[in-house]
Every structure is written in C-alpha cells, then in structure tokens.
A and B are shown apart, each in its own frame.
Chain A
Amino acid sequence: MTSKKKINKKDIAKLLSEWSQEFTVFVPWRDEGVAKWAKWDGKDASFLDWYRNTIVPPKAIFLPPVEGMFSFQKGKEGYHIELPPSDRRKELIFGIRPCDAKALAILDMIFSDTYEDPYYLARRKNGVLVGLGCVNPYDSCFCTSLGSSPTDSTNVDLMLTDVGDELLVEVITDKGKELMTKTSLAQAATQADEARARGEREVAYNKVTRQLDTKDIEKKLLANFDNKDYWEKIAAKCISCGICTFLCPTCYCFDINDELIKNQGERFKSWDSCAFPLYTKMPMENPRAEKWRRLRQKVCHKYEFYPINFDVIACTGCGRCIRLCPVNWDITQTLDSLPTKEKVKLEK
C-alpha cells in the first residue's frame, strides 16, 4: 500500500465542483482557439483531452494584464484615496504545468523582495496550485535543461500525474493536504499505479528533446555583454513586439497609469515589456533605443541578472517565446551561439 491517492478522470468535474465551494477554480479554457486560464464553468472538464499548455500563462491570474490599484478624488483638502477591497477570493489553479508553477515561485521572489507587492502577494497567499504533469510536451519545451521536468512537483500544492484513466495524486504542501480533506472522491493508489506514474514521468522527461547548456551561462553573458556585433546579429530579425515577454510566465514588468474622469481618477497597473522602445524612454534620450539593447536586456535579465541576484535562472523552459514568436526567434539558439571568451569583441 502507498499513502498516495488517485482520482478517476471521470470524477474531475465532480472534484472541481467540490472545490468550487470554497475556491474560485481556474482551468485551461479555449477562447476562439486560444488556450488560456478561465474560471471553471461548473461542468466542462474536457480540457483534459486537449490541454498541453496555455498560450496566456497562469501569471495572468496573479498579475493581471490590467489591475486597478486604487481610486482617488480631488477634494478641497487634497486627494482622497480609496483602496480596492482587500478580501480576495481564494483561487485554485487546476492543472498548472510544472514550468508555470516554477515561474510563479520565481515571481514570488521579486514581489516579496525589498518591496512587497500587496496585490500579487495577497492572491498568491490565498491561491492553491494543483499541478498536472505533462505527458506530451512541445518540441519547443526545454524545462529539463533548467533543473525541472515535465512532471516536477516542487512548486505546487498538489501534484497530479496522468496514469491512463486516472490521475495519481501527490500531496506536496499543507495547503494540498487540506485540499484533499475537502474531497471524498480520491481512492488509494496502488503500487502498480505508482510504478505506472514513474514510467510516465520517464517517458515525458525523454520527450523533452530541446537542450540548453546552462552551465556558467551568466558568466558567458557577462563576458558578452558589450559584444555589440553578437547582439546586433541575433536581434536582427526581432520585430520588438511584446509576445515573448507578455506571454513569458516569469516576466513581470508593469506600467502604471492614471485615468482621469471628471474630478475622479483611478490608478492602474498593466503589463509592460522591455521589448518596447517606450519602456525606457526618458525625456532626453532612450538608453535602449536600439532593439539589440532591448533584446540583450531580456536575455540577460533572465539568464544573468537573476542567477547572480537570486541564484536561479528566470526561465523555466516553457518554450512559449519560441512557439509564439512571429519570426521564430529562439532563445536556446541564441544562448547556444554565445561566443566563447576568446572570440568576444567589445562594443566601442
């Protein structure tokens, strides 16, 4: 016997209904062919049949594309500020992939570093992640090169592994444990189930064929930071759109705007991207006016600044930037083609 449980796939809708009592449940959803996260509609669990990963990553739930921060009103005595209601609903993300779960762990570092972001952290604190291991990773996936795997359970509260008609359930955190107390649908898993799960994990692991050598990557980047020729060459085909950053599960940059109507206003936070020239535009000049500088920023942020400052690469190998890029700019190719020390030419 094992302490692990399993749930029949047919019971998933029921399970989600049970959890919906307490949580706002998010599941993968197709909106005009675009896979994204949406509030569960209360019945449909067919995503289990088609879901590989979403186009819009689950970070959108915790760091929404647009978010009201507070409203303000000008009165006789200056400004009156009103914060949004703080009692957030508890959110349950069902089926998050290991790469995206890891990405949230990386975002946690940023939003709880020197400045604690109340908006993001409140949602994270109340949120529960139910992971679902990949059985069919994309050819653009490369999580295994980044210390993870398609079935990595490190960053979720509860981990599910596909074992045919059933999903094997592993409790990872206390939150996950508590979650399991709210359902009676789980049965005890057998040794055979576990063996099958191990097998599936291995198969999935081997399906990730894209490889990236990340050893000393931050040092290589540091050495090439001023290698203008190199960056210009790899940036040549970049069109400076926001796809790879907006849809990256670890990119978190945001812009702040005030909207003013009559004497009232509201402050909004919205996604921003270092791919846009406007991102760094200042009154007199723009330190990243050229696109190679912006692309360098993106790559170095993930593979150089993060390892140096947080000891982790801010990329989880989800492959979205490769899959969705209109010009097939490929970060793994870029990093693979980094010149070694001897060849580095410095920017003048």
Chain B
Amino acid sequence: MRYSAFAIVREALRGNRHWAPVWREPEPKPAYDIIIVGGGGHGLATAYYLAKEHGYANVAVLEKGYLGSGNVGRNTTIVRSNYLLPGNLPFYEWSMKLWEGLERDINYNAMVSQRGVLNLYHSDAQRDAFARRGNAMRLHGVDAELLGRDEVRRLVPFLDFENGRFPIQGGLRQPRGGTVRHDAVAWGYARAADRRGVDLIQNCEVTGLTIEAGRIVGVETTRGAIRAKKVGVAVAGSSSRVAAMAGLRLPIESHVLQAFASEALKPLIDTVVTFGAGHFYISQSDKGGLVFGGDIDGYNSYAWRGNLPIIEDVMECAMAIWPGLGRLRVLRHWGGLMDMSMDGSPIIDRTPIHGLFLNAGWCYGGFKATPASGWCFAHLIATGEPHPHAAAYRLDRFATGAVIDEKGAGAQPNLH
C-alpha cells in the first residue's frame, strides 16, 4: 500500500482496518543469491539497493533479533557530512544527498530534518582546525559556515557564553546537517526492500559461515542452514564475532556507547549542537525529548549498557554549555554496541574469502552513513568492485598505512 495523506484519510474513514503489514514474515528459503547478515540500517539499505539498483530480488536479510534492534534503533540520530579527510567526505556527502531524497524514494517519512549541525569551538587553535575542516567541506561541494561567537549566540542564545570554563568562541555549522528519525530509517528501508521481494527474516542468528575451497557457499543459522552465492556482513558491533566464523581477525573492538533521552518538552532547541571542549551533543526529537550523548564508555563490551562515570561526564558537559538543563530530567539511558575501528573510519570491502563481503567499523558515526553504506555495499556485492565513493574504506589500509584518521588519535579505538 502506498503511503500518502490520501491513504491516511481513506483508511481512517474505513476504520483503519485495512492497513497492510509493513513487511512479510517469510520462512527462510533454502538458498538465495545474496544473503545480508544483519537487519540494521546498513543491512536493510544494502538489500534495498541491491534490489532497486542492481535488480537482485532473490535476497534475504537475516537478523538475529527484531529488525532495527541494533544501533540503528538506539543512536542520537545526527546526520551530517562535515568531515575532514578526502577518504570520508565524498562518501558522507553522498549519504547526505541520499537522505535528501530518501523519503520520496522509499515512500516512508523518516523525518529527515535538516535543522543544521553546529560544532562549537573554544580556542583559536580549534577555530583553525574547524576552518580547515570547513574549507575541506567546501572544496568537496559541501555546505559549511564558520561562525563567530555572536553568530552562535544568535542561533543558540541559551548556551553559557558568560561563565563557561571553556568559553564558546564560535562554531562550525553545516546547515544541511540535522537529524533523522532512527527507527523510521530501519522500517522504511525494510518496507521498501520487502516490497521489492527481499526476504526479511527476523529472529534468525547467523552462527556459522560455510566456506568451501576459500569461497562462501552459505550460512548456518538458528533457523537452519541457508545457501548463498554471496554473503554481505553488516552487523556493526558484532562484526568481530561474525568475522571470526570465517577465521578473520579485524582491526575492530566492540565498545559501548550510551545515549540519553529527556522527558518530552515544548520546543527548546531547533538545531544540533556539539560541545568542543568535551564529549557532548544534543538535539530535540520531534516528540519533544532532548536526545543527547557523549563519549564511549571506553572498554570492550558486549553488554549493551554502560556505567555511571560516562553518564556523569555527559551531564557535566551538558551543564557546562547549557546550565538551563539542570532541572530537566533524564528519562532513559541506554547503550549500543559500537564497532570501533582502529582509525575511526569504516570498512566496506571484500574479504580474503571469495564472495564474503564486509561492512563494518562504523564507530559512533554510522547512522548518518546508512544510505550511502547500503548504496556502496550493494554496489560492491553486485559488481565485485568498490564504489568510487567508498574506495578508501579498504581492509588493507591498516597494513599499508592509508588510514583515515579524522581525529589523529592513532590506532586506539577508544580514542576515536
């Protein structure tokens, strides 16, 4: 059923009794042309673009829990393409472009909200580093504005400009950045993929990769063995575990990142703000909750939850830039499993196993990448060749040194 205002009126008048399921719940077939492991944003987008751009219909997405149960359903929803390095910029800008047309493409309102992303700077050196980044963006055709203190004050007057420990001096703003409704991305891609014949199989955990003579031929799952000509792995925080099934060790650690939602409030902040002298970023969801987060907890974890030190750190940062938050309350906090790569940038590449492809290393920034990741991963799987926008995301870059280290933090994932 096509979604539209008309459909809503029509169905309401019919008592809302005729809405169709957003996806089928098929039994797994014995074999597929392509299996995507992981029903997160990236896996679902990959399946959709495989079907739409490359004409593959015999595709399955295998998800161990419910669709969207991973990081796609638990992130702070920030999308932006304000990157520095040439390995990243074209890719994230392509993602931005896909976001801009996404809803009409998939006929689902994912609430792509280009409300702007403002990164605050607090020193001259940081201003110059932001200028470097803003200039890189502009050279790549990406929108960027370097704002002074007064311009920032006009945008977000409620921040602490008077008493801050690290006074706000200005900000780098990407007006086209913003937020996207996290769950809607998963559901929208899922529905769109399903409508193109992709089998979405929930509660189906991949427990083994079947490899014959150096080539992948299928997967073992909790719902039985399934054959496949090609397998694409897009399991974010579980990347190392799935790769281990093929005997691969990855330049990845899994860390927990927490996020927070406040009680719902009338509109308070209409852009995304990040603190430059600590780890903190905040926006307000359309439902009214402030959505915010900070640094990763900083240790390997598969526990899907974090601890108090980071919680307190996030709140201190919150109060440091916005002391008006003091009486507002945290409603819920949760954690996701981050696939932290050694240079902080993703991997979209072939593996040494024929027919086995890897999409991983998204760290805490892969939500914004969802459309481009799906697009480029689909391209790679379908054609066997990397998509030009993702050509730098190679697995061997750590061996060659062609790393993409935006922060210059080095090979220590808990610093990216």
Same assembly? no
On A, residues with C-beta under 8 Å from B are none
